[in-house]
Amino acid sequence: MLRFIARRLLETIPVLFIIATVTFFMMRLAPGGPFDTEKQVSKEVRAHMEAHYGLNKPLFQQYLIQMGHLLRGDLGPSFKYPSRTVNEIIADAFPVSLELGFEALAVALVFGLLAGTIASFKQNSPWDHVPMSLAMIGLCVPTFVMGPLLISGFALHLDWFNAAGWFSPRDRVLPALTLGAYYAAYIARLTRGGLLEILRQDFIRTAQAKGAGGARVLFKHALRGGLLPVVSFLGPAIAGLLTGSFVVETIFGIPGLGRYFVTAAFNRDYFMVMGSVLFYALFVILLNLLADIVQVWLNPRLRFE
Amino acid sequence: MPLLSVNNLSVSFDTRAGVARAVRDVSFQIEPGRTLGIVGESGSGKSVTCYSLMGLLPQPPGRIEAGQAVFDGVDLLHISRRQLNQIRGRRIAMVFQDPMTSLNPYLRVGDQLIEPLLIHQKITRASARKRALDLLDEVGIPDAAHRIGMYPHEFSGGMRQRVMIAMALITKPDLLIADEPTTALDVTVQAQILELMQKMRAELGMAVILISHDLGIVSGFCDHVIVMYAGRVMESARTEELFYQTRHPYTRALEKSIPALQAKGRELYTIAGGPPDPFHPLPGCPFAPRCDHAVDACAAAEAAPLEVAPDHLSACLRVQKENLQI
């Protein structure tokens, strides 16, 4: 197991290297440059700025310089926020996204697992149909519709929450629901499907023949195998949740990382793009590894060495 | 007093294609410590009968229409799930056909083995484990202390069935129901498993219901045999009597189908035709269309199993009416 983990961790190095390379050249291939949005910049000023950031050097030399910085963990300065480095921006914004992500994850897991479990135990009854229809709606309604809907219902009409902002704990509720709804819906369907598959198996009948009650059958015998599809979904899903959502952060005015990711690309903020891509990639790789480890732990048949 | 007395059990399945009448008016008794065999081909209702007793019938689509199953004074078909869970796994245990799929692949063999003890008795894990080790040893699993920590996929089919048997016997049940316990195993292993069941039965003094499609296996194991066809009891008698004084054409046809009892080189005997459609039951004897002895009366009205000799039931109209010799 340790060898497996070590091998997978070593494999991340070439993957990150390739991602960095592709990101670098794709950004430079994209039309426009970091200073195009500034109004009326004279040729001299522009040349001076490009020289300052080293953008006047040959492309391949720029690439080598940036890779050198990256190796030392230096993500470079931001063009858009000249007073801050990319490292500082991520350090500031990431905790916000992380908190929102965990809250949304909690929403997704609680509602998703509960609804999926009940639906599978009461298959083809209203306990199945109602949550699964809601889940279908949750999957179909995009975040940018769900957010404003929740705001107009719970913030504007009922006045239970603020429409936007990120100050009090109450401000966490609507963004977490908005962000978590899709994942809750997906997890509910995966849980239901996984459990139905397991509950049909012969060994469930064996457990019942032993006199195991419903709770024992569920928790001891069914859940382990039934949750395998959920676990493999959760790896990349958690990475997406924790690194921030542009839409939700924009709707609710949350100073999280997701907004920086997207605006950086629009601004051709080269170093910021590189920093956020690598940060996200690392997250996805590590959480996929974690999901794989959990799967092996859950399913002994995968343990071959 | 019988340990288990099944009276007039009828079970149906509600499916999209219609209502399938899987078990019809089945009755039998088993005394403590005795062995009963239930024989029949696939779809004859033998497994459904036993699943109904154990509350393992998926309902829906399954539906118990009528009947009683009185075990030690309690009707298993009409008690709460909670009460049933006190009985199954403790006083009635079950061994299933396919040991490959009947053990939970996600749990260690040891954890599954001691589960009946943990459910039904106040016992520490340590002493449960000790019981499990002793029992594994007894069912012939070498190096039990090591194997108890392994997963089912690390066992062979025969070994898994030994584990299943140990698991069923760990609470020392009064009744063991074995549903085709050797069907999924190699022929050499089959004999070992039957021998093991015989040995454990003698040791624990429990009653056994052995379900099988193999008349040979049942005759070697059981005191009494019930022959089922199309959800009904065709014949029921003590094993020897069933073979030497067969009183039903279907039983005779089954006997003739045992290859080992036939002369070498001769074409194997088969019963012409197929079993009746469970969705459209015939008005008369279900075996009549395939029966060499059938007369018009057979197809007209169904005959219930009646005693044609002491403790010997036959559902053949001609045996009942004309004392037909088969």
Q: Name the β-bridge partners of B177.
A: B94, B209
For B102, the closest of A202, A220, A301 (CB atoms) is A202
Cα four-point dihedral sign A220, A223, A226, A228 = negative
Question: Has residue B257 been placed in a domain?
Answer: yes
pLDDT at residue A13 is higher than 70: yes
Tell me what pLDDT residue B8 has: 92
Domain final residue, candidates B147, B172, B197:
B172
- Mean residue pLDDT of chain A comes to 86
Q: Do A211 and B106 touch (CB under 8 A)?
A: no
Instruction: Kindly report, residue by residue over A54-107, the tens digit of the pLDDT.
Output: 777 888 888 888 888 888 888 888 877 878 888 888 888 888 888 999 999 999
> What's the structural domain count of chain B?
2
User: CB–CB of A78/A84 below 8 Å?
Assistant: yes
More confident site: B277 or B34 = B34
Q: Is B115 on the interface with A (CB under 8 A)?
A: yes
Note the pLDDT tens digit of each residue in A46-55. Answer: 788 778 887 7
If one counts every other C-beta atom within 10 angstroms of the C-beta of residue B198, the result is: 14
Chain B residues whose CB is inside 8 A of the A224 CB are: 106-107
For residue B314, the enclosing domain spans: 251-320
Nearest residue, CB atoms, B115 vs list A210, A224, A225 = A210
Q: Give the confidence band of B236 by pLDDT, cuts at 50, 70, 90.
A: very high
For the residues A250-277, what does the mean pLDDT come to? 85
Beta bridge partners of B312: B309
Considering only CB atoms, A221 lies closest to which of B55, B96, B104, namely B104
Q: What is the DSSP string of A230-269?
A: HHHHHHHHHHHHHT--HHHHHHHT---HHHHHHHHHHTT-
Nearest to B308 by CA among B326, B320, B291: B320
Higher pLDDT, B185 or B295: B295
Specify if B311 maps to a domain.
yes
Q: CATH number of the domain at A86-254, out of 1.10.3720.10, 3.20.20.80, 2.60.90.10, 3.10.450.50?
A: 1.10.3720.10
Give the residue from B318, B313, B301, B297 showing the smallest Cα distance to B228. B313
Binary contact (A225, B106; C-beta < 8 A): yes
Distance of CA B309 to CAs A241, B319, B322, Å?
Answer: 77, 11, 14
My answer on whether omega of the bond before B281 falls inside 30° of 0, hence cis, is no
For residue B99, give the H/E element and its range.
helix B99-102
Question: How many angstroms separate the CA atoms of B23 and B53, rounded?
Answer: 12
Q: What is the pLDDT of residue B282?
A: 79
pLDDT greater than 70 at residue A305: no
- Give the model's pLDDT for residue B321: 82
d(CA A244, CA A231): 20
pLDDT reported for residue B159: 86
Q: Which residue has the tokens 């007073």?
A: A83
Which residues does chain A have within 8 Å of residue B167's beta carbon, measured at their own beta carbons?
210
Nearest residue on chain A to B150, alpha-carbon basis: A300
Say which residue, A74 or A21, is predicted with more confidence: A21
- Look at residue B35 in the predicted model and tell me its pLDDT: 92
Residue B193 included in any domain: no
Could you say which of B125, B141, B172 is where a domain stops? B172
Q: Is the peptide bond before B60 cis (omega within 30 degrees of 0)?
A: yes
Asked whether residue B146 is assigned to any structural domain, the reply reads yes
- % of chain B residues with pLDDT over 70: 99
Nearest to B229 by CA among B309, B129, B303: B303
B87's tokens: 């009985």
- CA–CA dist B244, B246 (Å, integer): 6
Rounded to 10 deg, the angle between the A59-71 and A270-298 helix axes is 50
**Residue at B111 is within a domain:** yes
Q: pLDDT digit string (tens) for A159-185?
A: 888 877 788 888 888 899 989 999 999
Is the Cβ pair A209, B54 closer than 8 Å?
Answer: yes
In a domain, B128, yes or no: yes
pLDDT surpassing 70 at residue B1: yes
B56 → closest Cβ in A209, A299, A301: A209
Q: Which residues 267-326 of chain B have a CB within 8 Å of chain A? A: none
| More confident position, B60 or A202 | A202
- What distances in angstroms separate CA A295 from CA A2, A286, A299, B105, B261, one per listed residue? 15, 14, 6, 14, 53
Q: What is the pLDDT of residues B145-199, one digit of tens each?
A: 889 989 999 888 888 888 998 898 888 899 999 998 888 777 887 888 888 888 8
Identify the pLDDT of residue A188: 94
The fraction of chain A above a pLDDT of 70, given in percent, is: 98
Per-residue pLDDT tens over the stretch B88-138: 989 999 999 888 899 999 999 989 999 998 898 888 888 889 888 988 888
pLDDT of residue A304: 63
Strand runs labelled E in chain A:
none
For residue B284, the model assigns a pLDDT of 85
pLDDT of residue A103: 92
Q: Residues with Cβ < 8 Å from A104, sequence gap 6 or more? A: A175, A176, A177, A179, A180, A183, A241
**B237 beta partners:** B225
Choose the final residue of a domain: B172, B191, B222. Answer: B172
Q: Which of residues 283-302 of A touch B (CB under 8 A)?
A: 298-301
Hey, what are B261's tokens?
């009892």
Measured CA to CA, the distance from residue B107 to residue B114 in angstroms comes to 12
Strands B74-75 and B62-71: antiparallel
Q: Does A213 touch chain B (CB under 8 A)?
A: yes
Strands (E), B72-117: 74-75, 92-95
B99 in reach of chain A (CB within 8 A): no
Q: Let me know if residue B95 belongs to a domain.
A: no
B137 occurs within a structural domain = yes
> Which residue among B85, B106, B120 places its CB closest to the CB of A298?
B106
* C-alpha to C-alpha distances, B32 to A237, A290, B2, B92, B195, nearest whole angstrom: 58, 55, 7, 12, 20
Rounded to 5, what percent of chain A is helix, strand, coil? 75, 0, 25
Is some CB atom of chain A closer than 8 A to the CB atom of B16?
no
At residue B267, the pLDDT reads: 79
